[in-house]
Structure 1
Amino acid sequence: MNRMLGNPSVTIAVLTFKRPRDIDEALPLLVDQVARYDGAGTVLVIDNDANASAADVVGSHTDPRIKYVVESTPGIAAARNRALSETTTDLIIFIDDDERPSHDWLALMVGEYRKHPGTLGVFGLVDSTFGDDPDPWLVAGKFFERRKPPTGTSLDVVATNNLLLDMARLRELDLKFDNAYGISGGSDTMFSRQARQRGGTFFFCAEALVHDVVPEDRATRQWVLQRAHRSGNSWSRTQIDVIDSAPKRLAARLKLTASGLARVGFGIVRGTFGFVTRNLSQRAQGARNIYRGAGLISGAWGHTHVEYARKQ
C-alpha cells in the first residue's frame, strides 16, 4: 500500500490479559493518536481472557473508533493472530497495554513506513522506566536497555511491542504467528525469521518512541535472569525450527551449543572478575551471560522454557 496518495488506514492493536488499569490508561492515549492522524484509524483491543475481564473497562470508553474482541485461546501468538484476522485497514500497529506512546508516535511510524516502498514493517524504539528506584544491580546489568540503531536501519529480528505491519504484504508472504510459541514466548522471533526467509524487510524508527513502565514484579533479579534464559532458549528453538533438513539442523544444534557454552564460560569469568573487583556491572552482566548461554543450549536440543504459563 506504499503507492497510495493519502495516508494509509491504520489499526492500533493492543493485547491485554487481566490488566484493567493498564488498558484503562492506554485507551485514551491511543484514541488521541488516531484522532490526530491524517487518515482513517481504529483502536483494536484483543482481550486474551476467555472471561472477558476487560469488557467493562473497555466499555467505559465510548469512542466509536474502539473495537473490543475476546480471543479465548490462551497465548500471545493466538491473540496476535486474532488481531491480524480482525484488521481490515492497510496497516496494523502492535503496542503493549503497559506502553505509552510519545506525542507524534503514530505519524512517525507511518512516515518511516512510507520511506521504504514494499517493506513489511517498521519497528519503533521502546524506552523502559521504573516506577520506583530499581535495584542498582538491574541498572548495572542493563537488563532493560535496548539497542538504538539509526533510523532507517534494516532489522533482521523485531519484537511486536512497537511494530507496524503492512497487511497486504503480510498476506503476500502468508505470515502469521506460530501458536507453538504462544505460551513459551518467542513467537515474534519466529515470525521475524520466517518473514526474512520469505523476503520481508523491517526498518527501525528511533523517533517513534513508546514508554514502558516496568511493573514491580518484573523489576527483580529472578525475573530478568529467567527472561535472559527464555530469550536464549527461544533464539535457538526458532533457529532450529526454520531449518528443513536433518543434517543442517544437527549442525545448527552443535553450533548453538558451542555458542551457549562459550557464553556461559565468559559469564563465569566476567562474574568472577566483577566479584573480585567489586564491579557491580560486571557481576550482573556476567549472570546475564550465563543464563542466556544456558538458554541457548537448552533450546538447541528441544527444551522449551515456558514464560507465559497460566495458573488454572
Structure 2
Amino acid sequence: MHSETPAGATGRQPATSLVVAMLTFRRPDDLRVALPALIEQAEQVIERFERVEVLVVDNDPQESARAFVEAFPSAGPVVLTYRCESESGITAARNRALAEAAASDLLVFIDDDERPTERWLVDLVATFDRGDAVAVVGPVVSRFEREPSAWIQAGEFFTRRRMPTGTAVSVAATNNLLIDLRVVRGLGLVFDTAFGHAGGEDTMFTRTLHATGGRLVWCDEAVVWDIVPAARSTRDWVVRRAFSSGNSWSQTSIALEDSLRGRLTARVRCIAKGLVRAAGGAVRSAVGLVTRSLRHRAKGVRTLARGFGMIAGAVGYSYEEYRRVDA
C-alpha cells in the first residue's frame, strides 16, 4: 500500500513517515485520556506510512509523565516514544519535538488538554495529500469543565475561526497543526526562543513559514476539542488572554522584519492599530453600559484588552503568559 501513497498536486516526493507530538506538563489525568486517543488516531493512518510514531515531550524536569508513558501497553506497529525537555517553556518543548522528529517527513502537534475527533488525523493527512500545502491547520473547539458566565459567552472569548477546507491561511497555532518537516528543515526553521514564556512562538513560526512562500491550508473536518478547566473560565483569565494575543501579535510583527527601518515601521503600525482597537473597544463597552447590552460590553472589553496588548508589545513589553516556577 505504501507504493500508492499520493505525491500531491505538485509532484513532490510522497511523505513516508509521520510523528504525532503531544507536549505535556504535570497533567496526569489529561495524559491518561489523551495518550490512548492518540495511539488510536495513529493506528488509523498506519497503512498510509512506512513509519508512524507518537511522541510525548514532557516539559517537567522531574519526568512525572515517564512512568505512565513507558508502562503503556504495546502500541503494535505504532512507535511510542517518551522524551523529557527539562528546559522550561513551551518553545523549548516544541523545539525538542522538532529535533526528535528530525528523521521524519511530517510532524503533527496537539496539546495534552485536547481530544481529537474520530477521524482527526486521517483528515489532516488527506488534506495534506490533496494539494501543495506545507502545513495543514485544524479547528479547535472549546469544551468546559464549568460553563462560562453569560458575560464570557457574550464576548465570544472562546470562539475560534472556522472556514471551508482548503482555505489558505497566513498564521496558525500549533495545538492542531500538521507541518512538512522536509520544508521546515530546508528553511532551518525552529521556534524562536525569544517567545519561550510569552507565547506567540507558534504565531512567529507559522508567519515565518508563510512569509517564505509556504502555503498553509485549513482542514475544517480535523477538529480537536479543547478541554477548558474551571480556572480559565473567568473574566480575569479571558481578558489576560486577549491582552496576550495582542501582545504576541505585535512582537511577532516586529520580529519578522529584517531591517531597523522595517522594525520601526512595524512598531508604529502596531501602535496605531492598537490605539484604534483600544479606542473602539472602549467606545463599544461604554455603549454596552448605556444600552445594557452584555454583548457590546464584553466584546468591547475584549477588543480593548487586545488593543492594549498590541501597544504594549510594540513598545517592548513582553507578557510572559507561560512563565512558571517549577517546584
TM-score range, shorter chain: over 0.9
1:109 is matched with 124
Q: Secondary structure at the match of 2:108?
A: strand
How far is 1:161 from its partner? 0.4
Report the count of equivalent residues: 311
1:46-65 equivalences under 5 Å are 46-64=57-75, 65=79
Identity of aligned residues (%): 46
Structure 1 distance, partners of 2:69, 2:234, is 30
1:251 to 242, 258, 265: 265
Inter-CA distance 172–229: structure 2 relative to 1 (3 Å threshold): same
2:104 to 78, 81, 89: 89
How far is 1:217 from its partner? 1.1
How far is 1:44 from its partner? 0.3
Q: Secondary structure at the match of 2:231?
A: helix
Structure 2 distance, partners of 1:29, 1:151, is 24
Point out 4+ residue stretches in structure 1 off by more than 2 angstroms. Answer: 1-9, 62-65
> 1:24 touches 1:58 (CA, 8 Å); kept in 2?
no
Structure 2 distance, partners of 1:134, 1:55, is 34
> 1:17 touches 1:49 (CA, 8 Å); kept in 2?
yes
How far is 1:63 from its partner? 2.4
1:311 aligns with 2:325: yes
Structure 2 distance, partners of 1:263, 1:6, is 45
Structure 1 distance, partners of 2:80, 2:261, is 50
Structure 1 distance, partners of 2:277, 2:305, is 9
Q: Secondary structure at the match of 1:92?
A: strand
Residue type at the aligned position of 1:81: N
Root-mean-square deviation (CA), in Å? 1.5
1:152-231 equivalences under 5 Å are 152-231=166-245
Residue type at the aligned position of 1:254: V
1:124 is matched with 138
TM-score (ref. length: structure 1): 0.96
Residue type at the aligned position of 1:128: S
Runs (5+) with no aligned partner, structure 1: none
How far is 1:174 from its partner? 1.5
2:19 to 6, 11, 15: 11
Structure 2 distance, partners of 1:77, 1:6, is 29
1:35 is matched with 43
> 2:146 touches 2:233 (CA, 8 Å); kept in 1?
no
Q: Could you report, residue by residue, the CA deviation over 1:70-127 in whole angstroms, capped at 9, with x for unpaired residues? A: 001111111111101111322110001011111111111000001122x211001111
2:84 to 48, 70, 74: 70
